[in-house]
Amino acid sequence: MDFISAREMKTTSSESKGMGLLLVFFPHHNSRNTSIAVHNPSSSSSSSSPATIRRCRSSGLLLSKARSIISICALLFLTLFLFTLSTFEPSTAYPAVASQTHRRLLLRRDVGDKICHTNVSRFALQGMGTLYLRGTRAMHDLIIAHVGSESTEDDVRLFLRLMHRSGVTSRCDVVFFFTSASSASSFGGVIEEENDSFLRLVGVRRNSNSTNPVDSVWGFDVTRFVKNHKKKETAEPIWGKKSGVHRVGNEPALNKSDTIVLSHGSVVGFDVGELDPENTLSGFMDHVPMSLRRWACYPMLLGRIRHNFKHVMLVNAETSLFLGDPLTRVRNRSPDSVFVFSKQSMKNSDRTQPNSVVNPAILMGGAKGIRELSNAMLTGIVRAAMQHKKKNSVSETVVLSQLVENVHMTKSFRVVTTNESVPEASSLAELRTRNSAASSVKGHDIIQRSNDNHADVSTVIRRHICSSELDSSVYMDC
């Protein structure tokens, strides 16, 4: 009988490392030895019994190996099949969901001069917020607008429309704060609609041959957004993921190294629950209005983007209307400065009350100054809530005014006080005609609506905008 020695088997095994599969498929030694043992005529009759045993063992071994081979082949086939399926992209599954996602995340506009805008992610920052419009480049200035629970869609629509038309979004990013996730969802359609109208307005104005394209008050100066930029690397916006740059074609370049591009900031929104998930002030008062809770959200957001912006503006979207760029007041000031508007004069013998009232609806300054102000305001609100027996008696205006006058609380930032106040469009007679409107509000870059004629002022302003044939073609409510 021929047997393979342990040394030979060890040598064969060591030489076959990395080719175990070949050894499974080609069992040379055992089959050869079995054949010799069966057909060797010189074998004695006494050896027939061991030969039979070897044949049985060899048959069992071959059957076991055959089963192993089949199992391995089946596993390889299944793995290859699953891998092939994973490489296919579903193109027809869930058409309704795909259509809605495409409409929200991938926005393309072709308005005569091929203005394109692409959103590749709905998240604004680090998995939070919503990206409504991604800017063409990184901006140095930021406007944070809070939307109260009583704000309407018309309030947000007019606020954003005038902000785009004023030209401020050519240099600033815009962030909205909403009271809840449902509120953010309900206002999202209005914000996207106004962003679309803005992009169409740029195209219409650029293709217009009008000799007087800019109205004295409510007009739109397209040159602030369409600029000649030399081809160079520009910083990407921090909001959302990277995407293509807006470009405006069909325009003669000054030379081969120049290109005409659309330049504007991003528009994003956050639910306050994302930035203040614990509702920090809820432990100190029964009901936390948006005017107070926003101060708990500023430190979280401004801390995350502290190295991205130089100037920040805090504004109430319900009452404020942009006619120009208010941030020109603070661009040449120190990073820790805070510019405040006076609301009204107050003469009071009570030393606990501030002598002058600060307007909390509009605040601006360097990014560091606004961040330090928000931290101090949050501390001041908590202190005021603990001092009052009635938990819901804390006034934002009083806390802010006391803070501005407290030299110990303002060491970390520098307050720039002024007698300037934000004018109110309280008289409809000032807005009914273009001439009177020009004389009353032309010299201001921002105004406020009073509560008495809130809706009437909006109607008059919208009528002024829609009186332009070009502009009325891009707004659905004209």
Residues 173-220: pLDDT tens digits?
999 999 999 999 999 999 999 999 999 999 888 887 665 555 555 678
- Look at strands 414-416 and 337-345 and give their pairing: parallel
What is the pLDDT averaged over residues 138-142?
Answer: 95
- The pTM for the full model equals 0.70
Residue 320 has pLDDT above 90, yes or no: yes
Say how far apart CA 212 and CA 219 lie, in whole Å.
10
Ranking 110-114, 195-199, 273-277 by mean pLDDT, the lowest is 110-114
Higher pLDDT: 140 or 122? It is 140
Say how far apart CA 313 and CA 235 lie, in whole Å.
22
State which of 129-143, 203-217, 390-404 shows the largest mean pLDDT: 129-143
Residue 466: pLDDT band (50, 70, 90) is confident
Residue 6 has pLDDT above 80, yes or no: no
pLDDT score at 52: 57
Q: How far is CA 148 from CA 153, 295, 334, 453, in A?
A: 11, 13, 31, 18
State which of 220-234, 356-370, 414-428 shows the largest mean pLDDT: 356-370
pLDDT score at 208: 75
Residue 279 has pLDDT above 60, yes or no: yes
Residue 89 has pLDDT above 90, yes or no: no
Ranking 193-197, 242-246, 425-429 by mean pLDDT, the lowest is 242-246
Say how far apart CA 168 and CA 325 lie, in whole Å.
5
Contacts with 381 (C-beta within 8 Å, 6 or more apart), sequence order: 281, 284, 292, 295, 394, 396, 399
Q: State the angle between helix axes of 367-387 and 396-405 in degrees (0 to 180), rounded to the nearest 10.
A: 120
Task: Give the residues across from 348 on adjacent strands.
Answer: none
Residue 132 has pLDDT above 90, yes or no: yes
Here the tokens at position 188 are 């999202």
Higher pLDDT: 217 or 227? It is 227
Say how far apart CA 209 and CA 341 lie, in whole Å.
41
Q: Which amino acid is at 326?
A: P
Here the tokens at position 23 are 């050894």
Say how far apart CA 99 and CA 192 lie, in whole Å.
16
Say how far apart CA 260 and CA 409 lie, in whole Å.
48
Residue 468 has pLDDT above 80, yes or no: yes
pLDDT score at 16: 40
Here the tokens at position 244 are 């293509």
CB 394 within 8 A of CB 410: no
132 burial type by CB count under 10 A (0-12 exposed, 13-18 middle, 19+ buried): buried
177 burial type by CB count under 10 A (0-12 exposed, 13-18 middle, 19+ buried): buried
Residue 326 has pLDDT above 80, yes or no: yes
Say how far apart CA 230 and CA 454 lie, in whole Å.
45
What is the pLDDT averaged over residues 348-370?
Answer: 79
pLDDT score at 198: 95
Q: What are phi and psi of 70, to 5 degrees?
A: -65, -40
Considering the chain, what percentage of its residues have pLDDT values greater than 70? 63
Residue 4 has pLDDT above 60, yes or no: no
What is the total residue count of the chain?
478
Higher pLDDT: 289 or 69? It is 289
Residue 247 has pLDDT above 50, yes or no: no
Residue 74 Cα to chain centre, angstroms: 47
pLDDT score at 212: 53
CB 365 within 8 A of CB 410: no
Residue 63 has pLDDT above 90, yes or no: no
Residue 421 has pLDDT above 90, yes or no: no
Task: Give the residues across from 316 on adjacent strands.
Answer: 146
Q: How far is CA 189 from CA 35, 38, 91, 105, 343, in A?
A: 82, 86, 26, 13, 33
